[in-house]
């Protein structure tokens, strides 16, 4: 059983893989109420700054409010910037999953990782996320499968990596 993916290492892949990596956290229910409380606090601080005519406070609170609103977009901006500096940026990377290992091949590089190198995996409805470390991951979307199918990939990964979770 072997499955082959062909990934385009570009901005879209960078943002999509970051979104999937961030989706692994289960404790997101508190995020929006906390952001709402922070936004209301910043608005109150702006009102206080206007009332006492301290425009430094107004500028600070407005900046914090803008950062709160732009948080995810800033993450995407910085991950795109990081990917553009990568030597493999813009290239197609072929990922072959076999019984023995995961092989990554591009125009300039070739590497093979045994399954013991992966610490965990997450299964999404539209792909798999393989983790070498909590901060080092590979997103394998089902839409990029060129040989084999997603059921084979899931069965293979599930049999080879001990920590397998569904999202």
Asked whether residue 27 carries a pLDDT value surpassing 70, the answer given is no
| Distance, CA of 147 to chain centre | 24
Tens digit of each residue's pLDDT (9 = 90 or more) over 74-87: 877 887 788 777 77
Q: What is the pLDDT of residue 166?
A: 60
The answer for 51, left when phi > 0, alpha when psi is -120 to 50, beta otherwise, is alpha
Longest dimension (CA), the chain: 71
Look at residue 119 in the predicted model and tell me its pLDDT. 86
Query: Per residue in 128-162, pLDDT tens?
Result: 888 888 888 888 888 887 887 788 888 888 888 87
**Structure token digits, residue 94:** 């072929």
Which CATH number applies to 3-10+17-23+88-166: 2.30.29, 2.60.40, 3.40.50, 1.10.720? 2.30.29
- Pure H helices in the chain: 11-22, 31-51, 55-84, 150-160
pTM over 0.85, yes/no: no
């Amino acid at each position: 059983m072997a499955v082959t993916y062909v990934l385009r290492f570009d901005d879209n892949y960078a943002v999509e893989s970051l979104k999937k990596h961030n989706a692994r956290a289960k404790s997101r229910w508190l995020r929006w109420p906390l952001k709402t409380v922070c936004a209301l606090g910043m608005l109150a601080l702006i009102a206080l700054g206007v009332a006492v005519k301290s425009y430094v406070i107004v500028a600070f609170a407005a900046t914090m409010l803008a950062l709160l609103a732009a948080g995810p977009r800033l993450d995407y901006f910085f991950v795109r910037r990081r990917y553009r500096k990568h030597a493999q940026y813009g290239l197609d990377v072929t990922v072959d999953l076999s019984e023995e290992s995961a092989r990554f091949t591009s125009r300039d590089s070739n590497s093979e990782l045994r399954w013991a190198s992966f610490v965990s995996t997450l299964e999404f409805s539209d792909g798999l996320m393989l983790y070498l470390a909590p901060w080092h991951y590979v997103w394998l979307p089902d839409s990029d499968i060129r040989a084999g199918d997603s059921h084979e990939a899931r069965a293979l990964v599930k049999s080879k990596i001990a920590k397998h979770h569904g999202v």
